Amino acid sequence: MPEDPRERVGFWEELRRRRVVRLAVAYVAVTFVILQMASITIVGLGLPRWAFRVVLGLAVLGFPLSIVLAWDFDMTWRGIVKTPEDATSDPAYKPGPPWGWLVLVSGTTMIGLALWVLRS
Q: Would you say residue 81 has pLDDT above 60?
A: yes
Structure confidence by residue, pLDDT tens digits, 11-50 = 777 777 777 888 888 899 999 999 999 999 988 888 998 9
Q: Would you say residue 4 has pLDDT above 60?
A: no
Q: How many residues does the chain have?
A: 120
Distance (Å) of CA 59 to CA 55, 68, 89, 112: 6, 15, 34, 13
Structure confidence by residue, pLDDT tens digits, 48-77 = 989 999 999 999 998 888 888 887 777 666
The H-or-E segment that residue 83 falls in is none
Q: Where are the domains of the chain?
A: 11-86+97-119
DSSP state at residue 47: -
Range among 18-27, 75-84, 89-98 rated most confident:
18-27
Question: Taking phi first (over 0 means left), then psi (-120 to 50 degrees means alpha), and beta for anything else, what does residue 3 get?
Answer: beta
